Structure 1
Amino acid sequence: MIPPAESLLKYDNPALVSKSTDRKSPKGRPLKVSPQQPANTNPVPPSPKPKSASNDAPKQENEEILNSILPPREWLEGNQLWVQQVSSAPCTRADVIRLEELLDIKLQQRQARETGICPVRRELYSQCFDELIRQVTINCAERGLLLLRVRDEIQMTIAAYQTLYESSVAFGMRKALQAEQGKADMEKSISDLEEEKQELKKQLNEQKTKCETIEKRENEKRQVDEKKHTEEIQFLKRTNQQLKNQLEGIITSKK
């Protein structure tokens, strides 16, 4: 396992916990103890000792709270287990200014996007927020715990938005696939309808041709019938005239 990457969160120097494969539990890690004071033969008890103990108790409590808020990171290097705790050193105004400069430098180095969704920018700002929580917790543990609640709420909200975004993307993909499938079905239906249209057009042209042929044949037949009928009428008129003339001749001859 490679050592963790550099972070904007300030850590102490890494400490070696175990050199063999059988790791010791975190409870077995050596604690930092202030150097013991040499034994004093003076019968009067020294006054600084209780004062130091009273000052170390809140400091140790703040360190425990700080470690609970920002747990130490561990990694393996060969068979060696290294642990690096968050720094408990108080911060100054220069540290805050330096943090801002480091944030800008990291954003430029890692080419984070200025707008929109960017995991790199989110990671760097999260590290910066953790560092601010560390700085605040050293001065006021209660304020640090409150900031921890704010950070957790923000992360939970972002996770909810991320889940919503992923579900909406999946929903969009499903709808796109359905639309694509519907488009293919619609194109096939259009193609079938076009073929049917062409077939109907072909049948219509055939029927028109048949109709024209029938009309032409019927017109010719009608013309022939009309001509024959006209000739028959003319013949009957002539016959009628001849019979009329004969009848008039017979009547005239009898007179």
Structure 2
Amino acid sequence: MQLASSFFFLCLQPFFTLLLLIFLDRLVQHFQGIEGRRARRATKKRRGREGEKKKGKTARTPTEVMSHQAVEALPTPPTTTAAGGGGRGMTPKEEVDAVKRRYIFVDGPVDPNVSLIRYELPFAPSDPKRSLKLRRRLGLPLDERAVDPNVRIVIDSFITPRAWHDEAGVLWVQHGSPHPVSRTETVETHEKLRRRMQELGVRRTGICPLRSLLLAECFLEVIRQVTAECWERGLLLLKIHTERTAAQTAHRELFESRVGHAFRLALKGEKDTSRVQQDIEALKRRTEELAEEEKVLRQECDELASNGEEQMLILEKLHADEITALKKEGVQKRNQLEQMVALPPTL
């Protein structure tokens, strides 16, 4: 009976496992649906508030709506209002905090001979006249080319704008270039990468951190070039790059954890080996001590055996002498008895 019940439960175990998996899947889908509905409601509320704030202004184009939905999670680019401190009346401390969150503070503009990423001309958000003076001094047109805001959002999401203060305390900002490049400029980027690898003396094979950094920087420049031509394609390429980087980081962490685990096992093995060696030495010493004791005991046994044989011989000799004496005495007694019996009776 017990065997039949065990067989019955064994047959029903896959069925119950399948039911449990289906229940867990439905439960996960239920919670995901709840989170999705909450996120959609929050998005609708946020868009409703933004629509109320922007009431009276022109509606966004379909492209802008697509970009807002596609890159909603990406950081927004720095604006003149945040950098210049105008718009909503922020305090000086809030302005400094906002600028620090949006920019990377450096010592000056990027060196085009060193950086593989192409940046646009720096500008002063709080002082447009200085920006115009710089463009006039470099012989560039005063009117900048129109830039798609979607391109700016995507590029600033992976190329953080640079910022610094000059001697007069004016804030200067430098963004990644949002303009497309020609085939010649792409070839120049390739040549710059090759030249930088030669200057730094990177290894072409094996693990080389410098080569990895240069290739990562060059890949960001390629993403920037693709984004400047088509921000949707650039956004897709950026997502692939992010996933690849995350996977590489996860593999590195896994490798480091495995190496650490192996190192700990090696240390434990060394400790165990030393302990086993100590035990072996102790057992060897104990074996030698027991061998000495065995030798002493064997000598005592041999001495006892030899003494026993001598005593046995002595006792056998004494016993034989006693038997001989008793035999002689018996013969004498017999002779005396025969003589007494053989005498005639006296008259």
The match for 1:73 among 132, 141, 162 is 162
- CA deviation map 1:38-83 (0-9, x unaligned): xxxxxxxxxxxxxxx9x8253x653454233322234678887765
The match for 2:126 among 25, 28, 38 is 28
For 2:225 and 2:166, the matched residues in 1 are separated by 29
For 2:175 and 2:296, the matched residues in 1 are separated by 93
The match for 1:149 among 239, 243, 250 is 239
- CA deviation map 1:196-249 (0-9, x unaligned): 323222222222222222112111111111121122222223333343444445
Which residue matches 2:50? Answer: none
Aligned length: 226
Which residue matches 2:202? Answer: 111
Superposition pairs of residues 160-199 of structure 1, within 5 angstroms: 160-199=250-289
For 2:167 and 2:267, the matched residues in 1 are separated by 49
Superposition pairs of residues 98-247 of structure 1, within 5 angstroms: 98-108=188-198, 109-112=200-203, 114-115=205-206, 117-247=207-337
Give the CA deviation at 1:149. 0.9
For 2:179 and 2:222, the matched residues in 1 are separated by 13
Q: 1:29 to 1:86 in 2, by over 3 A?
A: farther
Q: Quick check: 2:161–2:175 contact (8 Å CA) kept in 1? A: yes
Give the CA deviation at 1:89. 4.4
Which residue matches 2:35? Answer: none
For 1:71 and 1:170, the matched residues in 2 are separated by 35
Q: Quick check: 1:66–1:86 contact (8 Å CA) kept in 2? A: yes
Q: Which moved more, 1:194-203 or 1:121-130?
A: 194-203
For 2:119 and 2:305, the matched residues in 1 are separated by 104
Q: Quick check: 1:12–1:85 contact (8 Å CA) kept in 2? A: yes
For 1:110 and 1:211, the matched residues in 2 are separated by 83
TM-score by length of 2: 0.54
TM-score by length of 1: 0.70
Which residue matches 1:44? Answer: none
For 2:183 and 2:313, the matched residues in 1 are separated by 118
Residue type of the alignment partner of 1:28: S
For 1:132 and 1:61, the matched residues in 2 are separated by 17
Which residue matches 1:62? Answer: 151
For 1:7 and 1:159, the matched residues in 2 are separated by 24
Give the alignment's Cα RMSD to 1 decimal. Answer: 3.5
Q: 1:28 to 1:184 in 2, by over 3 A?
A: farther
Higher relative contact order (CA 8 A, sep 6+): 1
Q: Quick check: 1:69–1:145 contact (8 Å CA) kept in 2? A: no
Give the CA deviation at 1:98. 3.8
Residue type of the alignment partner of 2:201: R
Q: Quick check: 2:147–2:178 contact (8 Å CA) kept in 1? A: no
For 2:290 and 2:107, the matched residues in 1 are separated by 75
Q: Quick check: 2:120–2:175 contact (8 Å CA) kept in 1? A: yes
Q: Secondary structure at the match of 1:111?
A: coil
Q: 1:207 to 1:143 in 2, by over 3 A?
A: same
- CA deviation map 1:160-217 (0-9, x unaligned): 1222222223322332332233233323322332333232222222222222221121
Q: Which runs of 5+ in 1 are unaligned?
A: 18-26, 37-52
For 1:76 and 1:248, the matched residues in 2 are separated by 156
Residue type of the alignment partner of 1:148: L
